[in-house]
Amino acid sequence: MILVTGGAGYIGSHTALSLLQNDEDVIIVDDFSNSDKRVLENLEKLTHKKIQFSELDCCDEQALEQVFIKHTISACIHFAGYKAVGESSKIPLEYYNNNITSTLIILKLLKKYNAKRFIFSSSATVYGSPETSPINETFPLSVTNPYGRSKLMVEDILRDIIAAEPDWSIGLLRYFNPIGAHESGLIGERPNGIPNNVMPYISMVGAGKLPCLPVFGNDYDTHDGTGVRDYIHVMDLAEGHVAMLAKISKEVGLSTYNLGTGQGYSVLDLVTQFEKVTGQKINYEIMPRRQGDIATCYADPQKALKELGWKTTRNLQTMIEDTWRFEQDSQGKSR
Interface ranges with ligand UD1 (CB under 6 A): 83, 85, 123, 125, 148, 177, 196-198, 201, 213-216, 227, 229, 267, 290, 292-293
Q: Closer to ligand UD1 at the Cβ: 169 or 312? A: 312
Rounded Cα distance between 131 and 221, Å, is 12
How far apart are CB 23 and ligand UD1 at their closest, in Å?
30
Is 5 or 177 the residue whose CB approaches ligand UD1 more closely?
177
Residue tagged active-site, from 10, 82, 127, 147: 147
| Closer by beta carbon to ligand UD1, 176 or else 310 | 176
Q: Which has the closest alpha carbon to 17: 37, 43, 39, 41?
A: 43
Shortest distance, position 275 Cβ to ligand UD1, whole Å = 16
96 included as an active-site residue: no
**Distance from C-alpha of 17 to C-alpha of 26, rounded to nearest angstrom:** 9
CA distance 98 to 239: 26
First to last CA, the chain: 34
**Helix, strand, coil share of the chain (percent; to 5):** 40, 20, 40
Position of minimal CB gap to ligand UD1 = 227
Quick one: 75 or 327, whose CB is closer to ligand UD1? 327
Give dist(CA 143, CA 42) in Å, integer: 36
> How far is residue 164's CA from residue 7's CA, in Å, rounded to a whole number?
30
Q: What is the DSSP letter of 87?
A: H
**Which active-site residues does the annotation give?**
147
